[in-house]
Structure 1
Amino acid sequence: MTADKSPSNADYLTVGLAQIVPVWLDRDATINKIARWCEEAAKRGCDFVAFGEALAPGYPFWIALTDGARYESNLQKELHAHYLEQAVQIEAGHLKPITDVAKQLGISVMLGIIERPTDRGGHSVYCSRVHISSNGVIESVHRKLMPTYEERLSWAIGDGHGLQVHRVGPFHVGGLNCFENWMPLSRAALYAQGEDLHVALWPGSVKNTEATTRFLAREGRSYVLGVCGLLRKADIPADSPAKAMLENCPEILANGGSCIAGPDGNWIIPPVTGHEDLIVATLDHRVIRRERQTFDQTGHYSRPDVTRLIVNRERQTLVSFRDSID
């Protein structure tokens, strides 16, 4: 049965999970591809569409396959320099094709990027989650708090500035990158802002989404979208700047695993693997209100008089200038 999404029944939101292959290490081509998938999501009635972690210009798979920790390696320096060149600089307007589509079609977008921000000097990159409103405004940029394992050879550590939720239809939407979804205090920071639709962004691994998505939904009594990318050896051209990794490269680097769990912790759509797909579902906010009857982690089942969380959302910078006024 098709849900009634008329203005008189405002509890519904149609979401899309775009599980796609990036044009790996090509920022502009990948951003243009993301914009096309946003258009497809809008055609299929989506109010909101999400994409995986580090999708533009891609996840640094070469680190684990080319002795990425070797000090003063010319190969690693060249790969890192190319990564910085292809990273997204929001201040330069690199996301404009996506913000334009969001505004034109009235669709909200969440995506994962490798960000090279000017407020940190412009020569380090961050794994960032970007939320774009349906009027084309970038509402928040969350830089991953702690890169995981070998990611630390490439990505800098983020801050709490982007630990924000945003209203999309009847929902309050938040999102975290990859292993951040295992950080209970980061989740609590979003829960406390009324989050009831959580997006867990991953580079693409069913072992992660299958293990965490249902638990996160049950804990948060929220809908959880586990959204992933996809990358296969065949997707990497022979002349790629990272061609050195092809010698030791497995056939599948990221196998997808995008999925949706409901507020009771049960699957709405179990993990989808192995191919590009736009996964579409209509979510009913009333289900959240039902599940919060027994457990509301920052409402009636919280004890702020006993345990409380302090979150620093100041954007971290190295220097603060105070210029004199003549």
Structure 2
Amino acid sequence: MSASLQIALAQIAPVWLDRAATTAKILGAIEEAAKQGAQLVAFGEALLPGYPFWLEHTDAARFESAQQKRWYALYREQAVCIERGDLSDICRLAAQKHIAVALGSIEAPSNRGGSCYASAVYINGNGEIESVHRKLMPTYEERLAWAIGDGNGLVTHACGPFTVGVLNCWENWMPLARAAMYAQGENLHVAIWPGNLRNTIDITRFMAREGRSFVMSVSGLMRASDIPDHLPDAALLKEKLPKSMANGGSCIAAPDGEWLVEPICDREVVQTAEIVLDKVWQERQNFDPCGHYSRPDVLRLQLNRERQQTLADDTSRES
């Protein structure tokens, strides 16, 4: 019998801009995924503590806006600081349930000034953080809230018989980012999105066919009714923001490009599916993008995994 893995997509809405309350919802979804027998569960981009939906609708590029400054300061305050232990409860539950977690978070590292990063965090079934991938290039107005990332987290992970890679949102449109994952043996690709069917319905099946891999696209949900009343300018946000900002669209495609789980919209759900490794090998019989169909003598990709920082502290200098 071919090796298999039970995977789960967790399509939930955050308690927007509330790290503690959103963490509680994530823990509940992990519990539910584990109850359904999942060995890996994935969540949408920026879910903890939420995607910055205000940017598009509140003239966020206005320079020296006191309002935008207030919202950004709150955003950073509620972001995740990994070295402070903000993911400890999630790691602990992952270890207890022996389930790996791919989580979209807003990361505010303590050693990087005031900047935030859209980071995909991979936690293994022992509760250990194996990688933190900071989004390479924020898209459009996201650049008003997120700094650019680096290649440090462009790695793959062993999960049961599968090799898993994770990319944030429009990184999935970047051919070289995808190729970096393929070249590391990826056969289960996790694409995380803030939400919306328009993002997932075409590219999910395309990536599955291109990589001859299983692809799970996982999105969040966000409605104006999800904006907590205690937030600064909550009434203004509810007036300016659409009734639905993210309708989900989470789905899973098989290596032949066919749906294993068709896109799910407008509801919170923890949906599981079994994936079988033999299906990957069947589809790679005639096309393997980084195997028998590659030409490294002609085309080759260079990956820089150094964590980028302002200060290079060269402690090896001679005195």
Question: Same-fold call, TM > 0.5?
Answer: yes
Among 104, 128, 141, the alignment partner of 1:137 is: 128
User: Matches of residues 189-204 of structure 1 in structure 2 within 5 Å?
Assistant: 189-204=180-195
User: Matches of residues 150-299 of structure 1 in structure 2 within 5 Å?
Assistant: 150-241=141-232, 243=234, 244-299=236-291
The answer to whether 1:33 aligns with 2:20 is no
Q: Which amino acid aligns with 2:80?
A: V
Cα distance in structure 2, aligned partners of 1:118 and 1:192: 32
User: Matches of residues 26-175 of structure 1 in structure 2 within 5 Å?
Assistant: 26-121=18-113, 123-175=114-166
Q: Which amino acid aligns with 1:50?
A: A
Displacement of 1:249 in angstroms is: 1.8
Q: TM-score, normalised on structure 1?
A: 0.95
Alignment deviations for residues 259-301 of structure 1 (CA, whole Å, 9 cap, x no partner): 0000000111110000000111000000000000000000000
Q: Is the 8 A contact 2:2 2:278 kept in 1?
A: no
Alignment deviations for residues 196-235 of structure 1 (CA, whole Å, 9 cap, x no partner): 0000000001001002100000000000000000011111
Q: Which amino acid aligns with 2:185?
A: G
Q: TM-score, normalised on structure 2?
A: 0.97
Displacement of 1:72 in angstroms is: 0.2
Q: Which amino acid aligns with 2:191?
A: A
Displacement of 1:28 in angstroms is: 1.2
Q: Which amino acid aligns with 2:127?
A: G
Amino-acid identity (%)? 57
Q: Is the 8 A contact 1:32 1:97 kept in 2?
A: no
What SS does structure 2 have at the residue aligned with 1:119? coil
Deviates more, 1:67-76 or 1:30-39: 30-39
Cα distance in structure 1, aligned partners of 2:238 and 2:189: 35
Alignment deviations for residues 134-161 of structure 1 (CA, whole Å, 9 cap, x no partner): 0000000000000000000000000000
Unaligned runs of 5+ in 2: none
Alignment deviations for residues 42-90 of structure 1 (CA, whole Å, 9 cap, x no partner): 0110000000000000000001111100000000000000001000000
Displacement of 1:119 in angstroms is: 3.5
Cα distance in structure 1, aligned partners of 2:177 and 2:248: 24
Q: Which amino acid aligns with 2:121?
A: V
What SS does structure 2 have at the residue aligned with 1:42? helix
Q: Is the 8 A contact 1:22 1:231 kept in 2?
A: yes
Matched with 1:303 is 295
Task: Classify 1:68/1:184 alpha carbon distance in 2 versus 1 (closer, same or farther; 3 Å).
Answer: same
RMSD: 1.3
Displacement of 1:325 in angstroms is: 9.5
Task: Classify 1:10/1:97 alpha carbon distance in 2 versus 1 (closer, same or farther; 3 Å).
Answer: farther
Q: Is the 8 A contact 1:89 1:117 kept in 2?
A: yes
Q: Which amino acid aligns with 2:17?
A: L
What SS does structure 2 have at the residue aligned with 1:270? strand
Task: Classify 1:159/1:14 alpha carbon distance in 2 versus 1 (closer, same or farther; 3 Å).
Answer: same
Cα distance in structure 1, aligned partners of 2:35 and 2:2: 20
Cα distance in structure 2, aligned partners of 1:284 and 1:224: 12
Among 280, 294, 306, the alignment partner of 1:314 is: 306
Cα distance in structure 2, aligned partners of 1:239 and 1:31: 18
What SS does structure 2 have at the residue aligned with 1:28? helix
Cα distance in structure 1, aligned partners of 2:119 and 2:305: 15
Cα distance in structure 1, aligned partners of 2:22 and 2:228: 15
Cα distance in structure 2, aligned partners of 1:118 and 1:198: 30
Among 6, 11, 36, the alignment partner of 2:3 is: 11
**Which contiguous aligned blocks of 4+ residues in structure 1 show a shift greater than 6 angstroms?**
none
